Each structure stands twice: as structure tokens, then as C-alpha cells.
Amino acid sequence: MQCIDVRKVDKFVGKTVCLQGWAYNFRSSTGTVKKEPRSPSGYELTVSDISVVYRAEAYPIAKKEHGTEFLFDHRHLWVRSSRQAAVLRIRDQVIWSLRSFLRERGFTLTDTPILTPTSCEGTTTLFETDYFGEKAYLAQSGQLYLEALAASLGKVYDFGPTFRAEKSKTRRHLMEFWMLDAEVAFMHHDESLELQEALIERVVQDALTQSAKELTLLERDVVHLKNVHAPFHRITYDDAVSLLKEKGSDITLGQDLGADDETKLSEEFDRPVFITHYPAAIKAFYMKPDPMNPTRALCADLIATEGYGEIIGGSERIDDLALLERRFKEHKLPRKPFEWYLDLRRYGSFPHSGFGIGLERVVTWIAGLPHVREAIPFPRLLNRLQP
Ligand code: 4AD
Ligand code: MG
């Protein structure tokens, strides 16, 4: 008797087989495979023999409703459920789409360090650790290192875990999340937006075809996702603030957008929207000022549809040494650990732009999840390091 994996059952219709797989955790069953449209899997096994593989204790997760905390306490078992497995398969699909797209466009994958001597996205959300008597921080983004690698390879990206000690408990924040940073030499802000929208279009359209089964199982209404084609909408920060005020937000010019503001904006658009030209003062030190209005930065956040919030943050980078040095002073950043970064301008500088995508935010949006914590196998949250 041939023992087969349930995922490959289609090839064995009409044959007598022994079935094993995650859905058959505790038994292996022998029988004849039949196509059965009424079955959730599309197949049925006319069983002729069952053997017990393992005698398990009563399973803690029952068919009844469990509280969220209970389910996350049992995340190591909860991942066996069909809904959770579907989300993780969508995550896998998104990763492969991102990688394939960038590879086809001539990008080189260049990984950046996790243990770093500096911050990238501000000092308030750093995880600090001891590095043999020296202070080290877990990477918030690989961007600064990617800028060095873009000078060597032109088009580069990294993809790995990043860390933010954000004391926020929102449905969009993880302490540990996966980020793909991309950086391109001689690419300006506008071209970067075109690259970002092409990438997101590809990821979403791939998911609609490759993960159709999973999206159906999750009962995801895909009407909005089908609309995700370039070009996306673009609105400046100033116009976004005016629009939000009209819609009753109490945001004032100069303030960053809150999660509610992002949700309100996404309701206005049928496709994702780039919010461009934020005030330089509320954005990171490395962002290039707009030559037409230096109080604004050549940057954009990409806001997903249906209130899922920011999925990409990106900008053109300051390529002028003197200006970058001034920014270090303004942001009160220590010079010494960043000398290597200043070298990138000192020894041959060039225009360049890049962006970072939060993987779990994209998966949450595509899968239509209520919270980003279901988009990663083992989430790290403000109140959760277990399991
Ligand atoms: O907008 P962020 O902070 O941008 C950067 O870190 C840049 N250095 C990236 C670059 O230009 N290479 O983060 C990028 C994305 C966000 O748009 C969001 O999708 C995700 O990372 N992100 C988070 N995802 C989950 N939990 C958090 N706490 C996140 N913080 C950011
Ligand atoms: Mg951001």
C-alpha cells in the first residue's frame, strides 16, 4: 500500500491508498479516493481500514468559540486549524511573489544585519541589548546598510525580521515583524512609487489566482483586491489633511496621520493610495527635502484599501553630505556610529530611493484579518512572548 500526502490526493482518484497528512494527525486511513464536490476538500475516501498512529490526550482546542488569549496561548496547536493554515499559506505566497517580482526586475537579495550599533527609524522604539560590553540594537530596518549595497549592486533588497519596541497595542503593530526593504541607485521618488505599485499589484493579483482556495476558506470578499491595479492614487500630505478635516478629523497641519485618519482616507479611494510629501520635520533624518518646498520630504506612505492602513513607507534619500550632517545635528544623532553611513556620501554620492514593506501588514490586508498578529506564525506583542 502506498502512503500518500493528502495534498497530492488528486493524482490518486480511483486508486486504493493509505492517507496521511496534517489533517490525519492521529490516524492513517486506507481506502479508495473519490472526487466529491460536496466535501470541503473536494475528495472523499471510502475507508477500508484505519490504524491508530498515536493515542493523544483530549485536544485543548474544541469546535466551540475560544477567547483570543486562549487561542494565542495555544498558538503552537492553533496553527493546525484550517483557517490558520490558510493564512500561513497566503503568507508563503506573498513572500514568493515579492521575491519573484524583484528577481525578474534584476534585484539582488543582500541581507543586512539584525544586531546593529545605531537606530534607523528613531531612537524611541529600539530594543537594546548588551554586545560584549557595548550597546547594540535590534534592527528596525535594513535600509542604511542597503544604501551601501545599492552603491555596489544597483538594485538590492533585503527580507528579514525587524524589531520595534513600540508600546502600542493596535491591530497593526507587532514587536517583531518581517520587512522587505528595497533600494535602487539613481532612482528618484516618482520612479520609486511606480516600482512600489507594480510590486503590490503583482503580489495581490498573484494571491487572487494562487491563493484562491485559501481566500475562499477565509471568506475574504475580494472585490477591492480585484481593483488593485497600477496606477494607484496619489495625494499630498497637505491635501490629505484638508480632506480629513472635511471628514471631521481633528488633525492639524504638521501632525502625523493616526490609524483612524488612514482608515478614513482609504474609504475615499477604490485602490491603494500614496500619501506623499509629508513635513520633513515629522519624518526620518535621511529623507530628501523636496527642492520645490524644502519643508516637505520626497517620501510616501502607501495606504491599503478597506482601512488596513500603511503597508509601505519609502523615500528618496539625502545624497548631499553637508545636508545630511545638518540633519544629524537637528535629530541629535551621535556621529561616530554613523560615520560609515556618511562615507557613502563622502566617497561618491548619487541620487537613490527605496522603501520598506511590512509583510504581516500585507498578509493581513490580503487575507482580510482583524489583526496583524494572525499573519505571523508566532507573534511577539506588547504582552506576549509565549509560546
Ligand atoms: O515606515 P517604516 O518605519 O519605514 C522604514 O523602516 C524604512 N526604513 C523603510 C525603507 O525605506 N527601507 O516601516 C516600513 C513598513 C511600514 O509601512 C509597515 O508596513 C511596516 O513596515 N511596519 C510594521 N509592521 C508591523 N508592526 C510594526 N510595529 C511595524 N512598523 C512598521
Ligand atoms: Mg512608516
Domains and CATH numbers, the chain: 2-52 (no CATH), 73-375 (3.30.930.10)
Query: Which ligand neighbours the alpha carbon of 172 most closely?
Result: 1
Distance (Å) from CA 120 to ligand 1 centroid: 11
Mean pLDDT for the stretch of residues 185-214 = 98
Mutate to test the pocket of ligand 1, among 179, 181, 310, 363 (most ligand atoms within 8 A of CB): 179
Closest atom of ligand 1 relative to the 359 alpha carbon: 19
Q: Are 316 and 288 in contact (CB under 8 A)?
A: yes
Query: Which ligand neighbours the alpha carbon of 257 most closely?
Result: 2
For ligand 1, residues with CB inside 6 Å are 120-121, 140-141, 143, 164, 166, 173-174, 177, 179, 181, 310-314, 354-356, 358, 360-361, 372
Nearest CA-CA partner of 48 in 9, 10, 18, 8: 18
pLDDT > 70? residue 21: no
Which residue's CA is the nearest one to ligand 1's atom 29? Answer: 173
- Three-state secondary structure readout of 98-134: HHHHHHHCCCEECCCCCEECCCCCCHHHCCEEEECCE
Distance (Å) from CA 44 to ligand 1 centroid: 45
pLDDT > 50? residue 230: yes
Mutate to test the pocket of ligand 1, among 361, 362, 372, 376 (most ligand atoms within 8 A of CB): 361
Largest CA distance in the chain: 79
Nearest CA-CA partner of 180 in 151, 197, 156, 159: 159
| Residue 219 pLDDT class (50, 70, 90 cuts) | very high
Cα–Cα dist 258/252, whole Å: 11
* Strands across the sheet containing 108-109: 108-109, 155-163, 176-185, 352-358, 310-316, 299-303, 273-276, 233-236
Distance (Å) from CA 300 to ligand 2 centroid: 9
Cell numbers linked to 229:
491595479
Nearest CA-CA partner of 358 in 155, 198, 141: 141
Summarised one tens digit per residue, pLDDT across range 239-261 is 999 999 999 999 999 999 999 99
Q: Are 59 and 50 in contact (CB under 8 A)?
A: no
Nearest CA-CA partner of 382 in 91, 135, 72, 83: 72
Summarised one tens digit per residue, pLDDT across range 115-172 is 999 888 888 899 999 999 999 999 999 999 999 999 999 999 999 999 999 888 899 9
| Residue 54 pLDDT class (50, 70, 90 cuts) | confident
pTM summary value: 0.93
Nearest CA-CA partner of 319 in 149, 155, 188: 188
Cα–Cα dist 341/103, whole Å: 26
Summarised one tens digit per residue, pLDDT across range 76-112 is 999 999 999 999 999 999 999 999 999 999 999 999 9
Nearest CA-CA partner of 45 in 82, 7, 11, 19: 19
pLDDT > 70? residue 194: yes
| Residue 23 pLDDT class (50, 70, 90 cuts) | very low
Nearest CA-CA partner of 344 in 293, 273, 262, 286: 286
pLDDT > 60? residue 22: no
84 phi/psi in degrees, rounded to 5:
-65, -40
Compute the chain's Rg from CA coordinates: 24
Distance (Å) from CA 312 to ligand 2 centroid: 7
